[in-house]
A and B are shown apart, each in its own frame.
Chain A
């Protein structure tokens, strides 16, 4: 029943590996987002898709590649993971520019 669901909730992996995080929303929203929250709890937008079209692409290393197969799904693939990638990654969704609703987060730890 979770409105915005992310998998996995926890991800522990070694430096240099490639990993993916998946997000799905059942709210009927047309816009989805990826945020990164660092160890100081600062929440920063990374990407946003509206109806499968990339509309926000912040200054993020090109090791991060989002993909939206349809407007209910948004995935994030990360290549060559680095120690600095350790953070909580939140998916969010909204209807156009209405208030955004967040998923539970994926806690990524790089060993």
Chain B
């Protein structure tokens, strides 16, 4: 079982719709969760981070964390073509610095 799992996609949504990206993790000791966006040929860019159960909203982005079920999700409201990218979920266990990444979900927002 992979430590951090994501559906590779591609996930296609129409412009203006809500895109829902999911991530599950295996280490129950994980405490910090991050979403990065990576455009093709570019570097990962931090979008959101969440440490506590529940929802965290930032503009069109909402991160949702459920530690009991060991999943974290990212919702993108009013999806735009510029949101088309690969979204990487990253998990940090305990108080250390090591991030474990999923393989990413490719999102395509279609006109």
A binding-site residues for B, Cβ under 8 Å: 31, 33, 40-45, 48, 50, 55-56, 90, 94, 96-97, 99-105
Q: Provide the residues of chain B in CB contact with A103, threshold 8 Å.
A: 43
B67 within 8 A of A: no
Is chain A's binding surface mostly helix, strand, loop or mixed?
Answer: strand
Is chain B's binding surface mostly helix, strand, loop or mixed?
Answer: strand
Q: 1/0 contact trace for B42-77 toward A, CB 8 Å?
A: 111110010000000000000000000000000000
| Besides A100-B34, A105-B42, 10 new A-B residue pairs in contact (Cβ under 8 A), listed by A number | A31-B97, A41-B38, A44-B101, A56-B97, A90-B44, A99-B34, A99-B46, A100-B46, A100-B99, A103-B43
Residue from B44, B86, B95 whose CB has the most chain A CB atoms within 10 Å: B44
Given contacts A48-B97, A56-B97, A96-B97, contact A41 B103 (CB under 8 A): yes
Interface residue ranges of B20-58 to A (CB < 8 Å): 32, 34, 36, 38, 42-46, 49
